[in-house]
Amino acid sequence: MAFLRREDLMNSYHPLCSRITGSNNELPETMKTIKALSMWEPWATAVALNIKGFETRSWKTPYRGPLLICASQKRLPIIQIVLLLVSARLTVSDLQYGRAVCIVNLVDILKTEDIVVSGIEKKFGDFSPGRFAWKFQNVRRFVNPPLIRGKQGLFDVQMSEANHV
């Protein structure tokens, strides 16, 4: 299980996104763990910057609630992501490999056949039939993203005062 210091969550924000503190954004003090999802870059950063509101997956989950978005440590060849970077006006230096980039609320999971997306959202997802679109809201981006070792599928990150990140 990975560890995340509570102060990393409660004191981090980006001016374009919501603060993590506040009545609508606050994580409960009793929360010992948070569900997390690893994503390749630049997809993780696109979520953190509110460029991408859906994550497409071949599977769904009954889980709804706070979700820590982690950028994968592994890097894809730049030739595979250059068009996404250009369309999102991002550079390689914007990417946060191996770090937790934001917290979102996973509010719904829809069949891709049931939604219509266009523009940049479509470029950042595989909306082909038979897949699922995970709908994110309330993005809270980290200013100083903590290091997190990602895993496949949903996984738990323990919020700890221990300095393991």
- Domain regions of the chain by residue span: 2-159
Burial of 149 (C-beta count, 10 Å sphere; 0-12/13-18/19+) = middle
CATH code reported for the domain at 2-159: 2.30.130.30
pLDDT mean over 7-25:
41
Q: Within a 13 Å sphere around the CA of 44, how many CA atoms are in the beta-carbon half? A: 30
Report pLDDT digits (tens) over 67-104.
999 999 988 888 888 888 888 888 888 889 999 999 99
Distance CA 157, CA 32 (A): 9
Q: What is the mean pLDDT of residues 118-145?
A: 90
Question: Regarding beta strands 154-159 and 33-39, do their DSSP bridges make them parallel or antiparallel, or are they unpaired?
Answer: antiparallel
What are 29-42's pLDDT values in tens digits?
556 789 999 999 99
From the CA atom positions of the chain, what is the Rg in Å?
A: 15
Q: Is the pLDDT of residue 159 over 80?
A: no
Assign 20 a pLDDT band (cuts: 50, 70, 90).
Answer: very low
Among residues 54, 33, 32, which one has the least CA distance to residue 43? 54
